[in-house]
Amino acid sequence: MVSTESKVTVRVTDRYSASAERVFDAWLDPKTAGKWLFATPTGQMTRVEIDPRPGGKFTIVRRDGEEFEHVGEYVEIDRPRRLVFTFGVPRLSPEFTRVAIEIVRVGPGCELTLAQDGVRPDYAEPNVKGWTMILDSLERVLGDTA
């Protein structure tokens, strides 16, 4: 078993011109989430299942040569301010991390801060890059649906 002392928290922040409600809802709506959450430029989403309630689970499967299943369970849902869930990619690791999304209104838009706890130090930089790509994809999808 890996010691929790060896884990780190990664943080990524982004601003959106969309309202806090639109940004928050994009995380929990299967149709919208399937366009950006865990998406890659070459991947194809094959399954997006979201049960948006505390204790509800999500499964998002992307085929990118191989299938990658992204799974977790919602811990806290406080629309449009806070979303907390466990997160794992079983194909890559049996370990789960905890992701907290904080959304603060800034003028007509908002600022989102994502903090992922329990990340192995050697995964910190790739996780920051991955979440940055994902949040950039969210921005594009919200722009497309405005």
Name the domain count of the chain.
1
Range of the domain at 120: 4-144
H or E element, residue 16: strand 8-16
**Res 5: pLDDT:** 64
Distance of alpha carbon 31 from alpha carbon 134, whole angstroms: 16
Question: pLDDT digit string (tens) for 50-107?
Answer: 999 999 999 999 998 899 999 999 999 999 999 999 999 999 899 999 999 999 999 9
- Read off the CATH number of the domain in which 16 is found: 3.30.530.20
| Cut 0.75: pTM above it | yes
